[in-house]
Amino acid sequence: MSTIQKSEFWRSFKSAAWLGWQIESNWADPLLFFIYSIVKPIASASILVVMYGIITHSNFENPLFPYIYLGNAFYIYVSAVMAGVAWAVIDDREHYKTLKYMYIAPIRIPYYLLGRGVARFLTGSMSVFITILAGVIFLKLPLDLHMVNFPLFFFSLFVGIIMLSMMGLLLGSITLLLVHHSFGIAEGVAGALFLFSGAIFPLEVLPAWLRPVGYAMPITYWLELLRRSLVGEVAQAFPTLVSFSNLQLIGILVGLSVIFGILAAYAFKWCDFRARERGLIDRVTNY
């Protein structure tokens, strides 16, 4: 039984990842798709670079610049993975009208939804890499490969991607029950987290009453760990999380990720049950 179960999990995830990749990529030839994948994040980063450049007279040596630039670059994963998993529900239910077939196929829906996020993770990784590379080449981003803490980087990245997938599953679960605002929820949450997690500015800039929201979000600690692993001394210059050691940050990140994982599992179970009860799985709202 255990072998069959594992096989079913893997089958769901692998098929969904392949399907997601086909949907994401096969509308254009590879070159056009590559350009499409990098233009958007580069433009997004360039807005911040121009804003920063005109105010500081292109003082890219200031520690604030790598803080903003790296935070913005890694935030691509939030929109890609979290929103990607949640978007799979809308895409399958409303656009392709295939969610009902997925439900009767011999797969596990939560694993299927997580698998659908893989394609976005891959395209997101490409965007993150290109964005950082552009920063190093053109803007003298102080990234020295000899100084990078690779174990910390890869561990943080891994935990962060799992955490974002769980947050995506949580949103996807809620999306199963939504009619009118299913299109906006992932975008709204990603936008709110961009503001509250200190992705592109230190949390001290936020009004004091808003800062606790940032401290409660695992993304805040994840971005801090990624910054510290890549540009250690620069990242530690900011007072936001200066009192926490790397180990403490890892502990908080893992703890919050586990909490979101448990929340996502229960939320999916409940929302899935309610959606089946109310006949929402094959609904097309045309909204």
Residues in touch with other proteins (CB under 8 A): 27-28, 36, 39-41, 43-44, 46-48, 50-56, 64, 68, 95-96, 180-181, 184, 187-188, 191-192, 194-195, 199-202, 205-206, 286
Residue whose CB is less far from other proteins, 238 or 260: 238
Residue 35 or 262 having the CB closest to other proteins: 35
Nearer to other proteins, 206 or 263 (CB): 206
Q: How far is the CB of 49 from other proteins (least distance, A)?
A: 9
Closer residue to other proteins, CB minimum distance, 35 or 147 = 35
Alpha carbons 58 and 102: distance in angstroms, whole number: 52
245: helix, strand or coil: coil
Residues 6+ apart with CB under 8 A from 115: 12, 13, 14, 15, 16, 17, 19, 20
| One-character DSSP codes across 50-74 | HHHHHHHTS-TTSTHHHHHHHHHHH
Alpha helical stretches, state H, the chain: 2-25, 30-56, 64-77, 83-90, 99-104, 109-139, 150-177, 182-196, 211-216, 218-235, 246-277
Closest contact distance (angstroms) between CB of 287 and other proteins is 9
The Cα 191–Cα 184 span in angstroms is 10
R_g of the chain, CA atoms, integer Å:
20
The sign of the CA dihedral 177, 20, 17, 157 is negative
Cβ distance to other proteins smaller for residue 196 or 268: 196
We find the least distance from the C-beta atom of residue 202 to other proteins, in angstroms, to be 6
Minimum distance between the CB of residue 181 and other proteins, rounded to whole angstroms?
6
Q: Nearest distance from residue 120's CB to other proteins, in Å?
A: 13
State which residue, 173 or 197, has the beta carbon closest to other proteins: 197
CB of 197 to other proteins, least distance (A): 10
Closest CB 124 distance from other proteins, rounded Å: 14
| Residues 6+ positions from 141 with CB-CB distance below 8 Å | 60, 65, 66, 69, 70, 132, 135, 231
Q: Considering beta carbons, is residue 168 or 198 the nearer one to other proteins? A: 198
Phi/psi of residue 240, each to 5°?
Answer: -50, -55
Maximum Cα–Cα distance across the chain: 65
Q: How far is the CB of 2 from other proteins (least distance, A)?
A: 38
Cβ-based nearer residue to other proteins, 41 or 115: 41
